[in-house]
Amino acid sequence: MITRVRSVSAWMVVWLLVGSLSANAFEGADKGHDHYDPTHGYASANSDSLLDFKSDKALFTGLVFLLLCGGLYLAAWKPISQALERRETTIANQIADAQRASEEAGAKLKEYEAKLADAAVKAQELVVAAKRDAESVAERIKNEAQADATRMLDGRRVRLSRPSKRLYRSFRPRALTWHLVWLVA
C-alpha cells in the first residue's frame, strides 16, 4: 500500500514538473524574452491575466489531465478498486462471523443460565434433604439416648430396690458394733 502511495505521489510530481516546464516554454516562445527572474516567475508588466483564455494552454492542460487520468487509471485505479473489493468482502465476512459468534454466545448464555438455574434447584433440594436427614438422625439419637437412660435408671432402681445379701452382711456387723460402742460409751 505504501509503494502505491509513493507511486501516485511520484506521478503527481512528474505531472507538476512537466506542466510547469511546458507552460513556461509556451510563455517564453510567445514573449520572446529569455531572462530569469526567480522573484516574479517570468512575470512582466505585459503578462496576461491568469483568467484569460489561451487555447494552447487549454489544449496542453487538457492533454496533461488526460495523461494523468490514464496513468492513474493504469497505475492506481485497478489496485485501488481491487483493494476496496477485498476490504469490502473482508468486512462482510467479519460482520457475518461476528453475528454468528454473537448468536452462538447468546445460545451458550441461555444454556449456561439454564444449567445454573438447574444447579440452584438441585442445591436447594440437597439442602432440604440434608436438613431432613439431620433432623431424623438427631431424633433417632435422642430416642436412643432416652431409651438407654431409661434402661440404666430402671436397672439401678431394680438393684436399689432389692438389697443385696452382701450389703446386709457387711452392714449388720458394723451397725451392731457401732450400736454396742454407743451403748458402752
Q: Where a domain ends, among 57, 76, 108?
A: 108
Tens digit of pLDDT for each residue in 64-112? 999 998 888 888 888 888 999 999 999 999 999 999 999 999 999 999 9
- Per-residue pLDDT band for 58 (boundaries 50, 70, 90) equals confident
Same domain, 54 and 16: yes
* Cα Rg of the chain, angstroms: 59
> Per-residue pLDDT for 42 more than 70?
no
Same domain, 133 and 93: no
Range of the domain at 135: 128-184
Same domain, 93 and 153: no
Q: Where a domain ends, among 108, 140, 169?
A: 108
Name the more confident of 184 and 145. 145
Q: Identify whether the C-beta of residue 24 lies closer than 8 Å to the C-beta of residue 42.
A: yes
119-140 as b/e: b if 16+ CB within 10 A:
eeeeeeeeeeeeeeeeeeeeee
CB count in 10 Å sphere of residue 67: 14
CB count in 10 Å sphere of residue 28: 13
3-state DSSP assignment of residue 38: coil
Same domain, 94 and 157: no
Q: Identify whether the C-beta of residue 7 lies closer than 8 Å to the C-beta of residue 75.
A: yes
Cα dihedral 176→179→180→182 (10° resolution):
160
Distance CA 48, CA 58 (A): 15
DSSP per-residue letters across 47-62: PPPTTS--HHHHHHHH
pLDDT of amino acid 90: 97
Q: Percent of the chain having pLDDT more than 70?
A: 60
Name the more confident of 98 and 170. 98
Distance CA 132, CA 139 (A): 11
Q: Would you say residue 145 lies in a domain?
A: yes
